[in-house]
Structure 1
Amino acid sequence: MEKIVELEQISLKRNGHWLLKDINWSIHKEENWVLYGLNGAGKTALLNMLCAYYFPTEGRATVLGKVFGRDYLAEKLRQKIGLVSSKLQQKLYQSDTAFQIVLSGAFASIGLFEKPTDEMREKAIRLLEELHCLSYADRAYETLSQGERQRVLIARALMADPELLILDEPTTGLDFLAREQLLEGLESINKRENAPTFLYVTHHVEEILPIFTHTLLLKNGEVFDSGLTNEMISEEKLSKLFDCDILVTWEKGRVSLRRKF
């Protein structure tokens, strides 16, 4: 099966500190992964490396068939990766409309400086409709709610037909209803014939959908464990991950947890 990501003995050192150590991880096409861990586990560092903002200090990293430091240009690689993150949201021009924000994804640009084709416009409209954003397509991004903004960012990320879609804690700041609407949108995207591979980053297990087949548990910059989601999100694994007794409850493919007292 085709590999989307392959990390071999990857370590990352920044400002004299090891952020990642001895990471071995493979993502295959048609797998959707959750990256799960507490704050400070190294999730952000790992994402920055996958997007070629950081280069590994040690080891070999291959993303979308391109080996880091050998046969690719970082900017071209990023055009094949859809990224939804709070940092990106802060960089956007807040006065741009939701429609303009989505269209800019076709050029991987902050702001719309090139004239989009009719095909691009039609595609942007389809994405806005699919993610239930069409009703506010002409509104300024700064006037949208947090949930509306996140759905617009997902539509923007999909404009370039990415092979890998990275969602970095996309439900931060959302209420329950907005969170569930966003997650429903992801399920819809996953049903596409040529759906991208998902990498969903969170520290809230309640957001883990049945479409996320695999999970990587990260702790202190190292792989704690990885494998099928229903095996990783278990009382035994999470109790060891958190160093305390955890009660895990699965119901209709969704999970919740609480600490045992």
Structure 2
Amino acid sequence: MSRPALREFLAGCRDEAPLLLGAVPFGMLYGISALAAGIPAWLAQLASAVVFAGAAQLVIVQMLAAGAGMLPTALTSGLLNLRHLLYSASMATYVGHLPRRWRMLLAYLLTDEAYAVAVLRYQARPPAEGPDLRHWYFFGAGFTLWFAWQVSTAFGLVFGAAIPPAWELDFAVPLTFIALLTLLLRERPGQAAALAAGGAVLLFAALPFKLGLVLAILAGLGAGVWTARRLERAR
């Protein structure tokens, strides 16, 4: 790794670090919930390493604990992860030129938190001279979250029984997404996404099974991607 690449990697780690304030309790909550649902500790930890999808992992273990069948569980987690298709469409503009091994690695590390940090770096103008090493920034942000997620899951699995109920780790889920919203509202694509998602939540609030929330996610991400691409073409 060259020095410029290392600087980009460490910058991604640094900028991702504040988001761990919500992600670490979130991972602990997943570990505790997995044990409560009767999932073996080794399998819960393996899921964090392979699946690496915090909200989907938490929903899956909660539905399994409630006795939901495989089909409803798979459908719910699939709908929840549809937003990653739009994340990928947004990031493809910036990483499409990379070798396949890089694209596969970054696709694996693409999460809400990594996207929120990396897309802001990519929306800035590319370096005036020298190679574009911003994929190392993306890698640093994604790796930081991945590592913290593994450690926090393990902590929840090992020490979950000793964590007092008064701590109420459920706060971590909304805290994580509030932090993401704060980051993304700095740019016009994030503002467009927030407006579209907020309007869709109100418009589709009466739909059953919380389908309005799914449609709001899709509307917000679609508006954000469309705005980002218009701004990119205008440059």
TM-score range, shorter chain: under 0.3
* TM-score (norm: length of structure 2): 0.28
Bigger RCO of structures 1 and 2 (CA < 8 A, at least 6 apart):
2
Point out the structure with the larger strand share: 1
Point out the structure with the larger helix share: 2
